[in-house]
DNA sequence: TCTGGGGTCCTAGGACCC
DNA sequence: TCTGGGGTCCTAGGACCC
């Protein structure tokens, strides 16, 4: 039996939650993201803000230039969004047997076989939207198609509050006029390569032989692009998968040259990563240092540990060694951070409790703020900015 | 315009082993 | 003394996604 995949995408999720919770912000341009005047980008903007040409990932400085004075700017409240997300995923779980969350505001559902129970795909989609609206008071866009690619493009096609079902016989006509970036795995670089070959749309890609695409993009990407342009893509929906790495990084408000600041920031990152790993009952074998130098040059250095660890000090020591071993001494640092990956096969719970926890107290958000405040107090002008998470 | 943070996956060279 | 081919691990970087 042909598979039927549904993709659900909340509309302007972060700003929608904020406008729901703050009636005074409804109907106004609203930005969730970096603070104006600081380094950073727009995470999500309300539809009122999009009318001014603002979009996610735009530098906040550019957004400020474009938006009127009545615009509201807020920092992300991730704990709140995660809470709403959990409720949405719970509701989705009551509608279909397999739910695959792909991010805080997106999920795939396998709705094959729901036809006999619920009705045609349009009815399944309408019920899903209604259930989300009833549970959390937010609108979602829903797309249904024969595979993940088509379902996702279908949910994008009618945003906001959209609903589109694309049947197998409609797939080619639906795909052909789409821009190259509609295909999964085609970003700025791959799109540019294809444009240089005179291709503009998915239909153009479909008209080219597989061999040419493989030659231009490499065997793997070329094949994927070829298959997708013909409407062929993964139609499986899996339950949530395990994460492969944990990382913490921060961009400084001003570039930093003082190695004491870098060391303290790495220590903070190691505490966060170590805590999250222990909380997940995991030990990692690879520590990766990430550093972004002035003006915007990113490097990573990694090291395999002698033994798997979730110990703040072990993680910090490895990262600090990597930092000192490198030759960027004296250069201004824009960002620094670290990650832990390469999980040990069978983490032993009791071992994890023996790991050294160098945090001062509770793992709550205020502890992180306290740590950052301490760094700010000590190194006044090097204000560390809290992170944010980009959402469309 | 001046570019966040948290991730995944792929590639490719070199080391090392058989 | 000069030389295979394959497999796996480690490391660095990059493209991409949300």
- Work out if A302's Cβ lies within 7 angstroms of strand B: no
Residue A370 has pLDDT above 50, yes or no: no
**A116 CB contacts (<8 Å, ≥6 apart)?**
none
Q: Does the domain spanning A245-378 belong to CATH 3.40.50.800?
A: no
Which nucleotide is nearest to A34 if distance is taken from CA to C1'?
B4
Residue range(s) occupied by CATH 3.30.70.270 in chain A: 1-167
- Work out if A217's Cβ lies within 7 angstroms of strand B: no
Tokens of A287: 């520590």
- What is the layout of strands, in order, in the sheet containing A297-309? A245-256, A333-343, A284-293, A297-309
In angstroms, how far is C16 C1' from A309 CA? 29
% of chain A exceeding 90 in pLDDT: 81
Q: Does A106 qualify as catalytic in the annotation?
A: yes
> What's the whole-number average pLDDT of chain A?
89
Q: Report the pLDDT averaged over residues A186-208.
A: 95
Q: Find the catalytic residue in A18, A48, A100, A106.
A: A106
Residue range(s) occupied by CATH 1.10.150.20 in chain A: 176-229
Cα atoms in the Cβ-side hemisphere of radius 13 Å centred on A78:
12
Are A391 and A56 in contact by the 8 Å Cβ rule? The answer is yes
Q: When comparing pLDDT for A94 and A330, which is higher?
A: A94
Name the fold adopted by A1-167.
Answer: Alpha-Beta Plaits (3.30.70)
- Report chain A's terminal Cα–Cα distance, integer Å: 34
Residue A389 pLDDT class (50, 70, 90 cuts): very low
Cα of A351 vs its chain's centroid, Å: 32
In angstroms, how far is B12 C1' from A187 CA? 21
Q: From CA A264, how far away is CA A295, in angstroms rounded?
A: 22
- Work out if A276's Cβ lies within 7 angstroms of strand B: yes
Residue A345 pLDDT class (50, 70, 90 cuts): confident
pLDDT per residue as tens digits for the range A208-254: 999 999 989 988 899 999 999 999 999 999 988 899 999 999 999 99
Q: From CA A80, how far away is CA A90, in angstroms rounded?
A: 16
* Residue A219, number of CB atoms within 10 A of its CB: 10
- Binding-site residues of A for Mg(2+), in ranges, read 9, 105
In angstroms, how far is B7 C1' from A256 CA? 25
pLDDT per residue as tens digits for the range A278-294: 999 999 999 999 999 99
For A349-380, b/e burial (b = at least 16 CB within 10 A) is eeebeebeeeeeeeeeeebbeebbeebeeebe
Residue A133 has pLDDT above 90, yes or no: yes
* Candidates 3.40.920.10, 3.30.200.20, 3.90.180.10, 1.10.150.20; CATH matching A176-229: 1.10.150.20
Identify the pLDDT of residue A209.
94
Q: Report the pLDDT averaged over residues A63-86.
A: 96
Residue A205 pLDDT class (50, 70, 90 cuts): very high
Q: From CA A105, how far away is CA A228, in angstroms rounded?
A: 24
For A286-310, b/e burial (b = at least 16 CB within 10 A) is bbbbbbbbeeeeeeebbeebeebbb
The most confident of A1-5, A210-214, A266-270, by mean pLDDT: A266-270
Report how many helices (DSSP H) and strands (DSSP E) chain A contains, helices first.
16, 12
- Work out if A137's Cβ lies within 7 angstroms of strand C: no
Torsion region of A119: left, alpha or beta (phi above 0 gives left; psi -120 to 50 gives alpha): left
Tokens of A41: 């980008």
Alpha helices in A145-293 (DSSP H): 148-157, 171-175, 188-196, 202-206, 210-217, 219-229, 259-279
Residue A14 has pLDDT above 50, yes or no: yes
Q: Tell me which residues from 57 to 116 on chain A have a beta carbon below 7 angstroms from nucleic acid strand B.
A: 57, 59, 61-62
Q: Report the pLDDT averaged over residues A72-84.
A: 96
Identify the pLDDT of residue A366.
40
**A81 CB contacts (<8 Å, ≥6 apart)?**
A13, A14, A17, A104, A105
- Work out if A75's Cβ lies within 7 angstroms of strand C: no
Q: Tell me which residues from 18 to 47 on chain A have a beta carbon below 7 angstroms from nucleic acid strand B.
A: 34, 39-41, 43
Q: When comparing pLDDT for A115 and A380, which is higher?
A: A115
Identify the pLDDT of residue A358.
66
Are A225 and A209 in contact by the 8 Å Cβ rule? The answer is no
Residue A2 has pLDDT above 60, yes or no: yes
Residue range(s) occupied by CATH 3.30.1490.100 in chain A: 245-378
Residue A349 pLDDT class (50, 70, 90 cuts): low
In angstroms, how far is C14 C1' from A384 CA? 27
Q: Which nucleotides of C are covered by protein (CB under 7 A)?
A: 9-18
């Amino acid at each position: 039996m042909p598979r039927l995949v549904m993709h659900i995408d909340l509309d302007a999720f972060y700003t929608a939650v904020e406008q729901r919770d703050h009636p005074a912000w409804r109907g106004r341009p609203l930005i969730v993201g970096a603070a104006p005047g600081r380094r950073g980008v727009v995470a999500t903007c309300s539809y009122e803000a999009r009318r001014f040409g603002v979009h996610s990932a735009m530098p906040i400085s550019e957004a400020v230039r474009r938006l009127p004075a009545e615009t509201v700017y807020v920092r992300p409240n991730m704990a709140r969004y995660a809470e709403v997300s959990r409720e949405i995923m719970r509701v989705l779980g009551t509608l279909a047997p397999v739910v695959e969350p792909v991010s805080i505001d997106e999920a795939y559902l396998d709705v094959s076989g729901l036809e006999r129970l619920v009705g045609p795909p349009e009815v399944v989609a309408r019920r899903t939207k209604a259930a989300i609206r009833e549970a959390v008071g937010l609108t979602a866009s829903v797309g249904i198609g024969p595979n993940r690619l088509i379902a996702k493009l279908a949910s994008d096609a009618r945003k906001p509050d959209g609903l589109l079902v694309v049947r197998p016989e409609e797939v080619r006509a639906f795909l052909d006029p789409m821009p190259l970036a509609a295909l999964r795995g085609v970003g700025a670089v791959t799109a540019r390569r294809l444009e240089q070959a005179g291709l503009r749309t998915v239909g153009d890609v479909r008209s080219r032989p597989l061999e040419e695409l493989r030659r231009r993009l490499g065997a793997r990407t070329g094949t994927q692009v070829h298959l997708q342009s013909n409407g062929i893509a993964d139609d499986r929906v899996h339950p949530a998968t395990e994460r492969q790495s944990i990382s913490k990084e921060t961009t400084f408000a001003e570039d930093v040259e003082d190695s004491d600041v870098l060391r303290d920031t790495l220590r903070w990152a190691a505490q966060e990563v170590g805590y999250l790993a222990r909380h997940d009952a995991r030990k990692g074998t690879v520590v990766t240092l990430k550093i972004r130098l002035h003006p915007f040059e990113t490097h990573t250095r990694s090291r395999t540990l002698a033994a798997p660890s979730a110990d703040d000090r072990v993680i910090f020591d490895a990262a600090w060694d990597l930092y000192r071993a490198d030759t960027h001494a004296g250069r201004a640092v824009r960002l620094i951070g670290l990650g832990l990956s390469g999980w040990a096969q069978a983490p032993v719970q009791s071992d994890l409790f023996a790991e050294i926890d160098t945090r001062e107290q509770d793992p709550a958000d205020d502890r992180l703020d306290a740590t950052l405040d301490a760094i700010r107090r000590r190194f006044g002008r090097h204000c560390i900015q809290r992170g944010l998470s980009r959402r469309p």
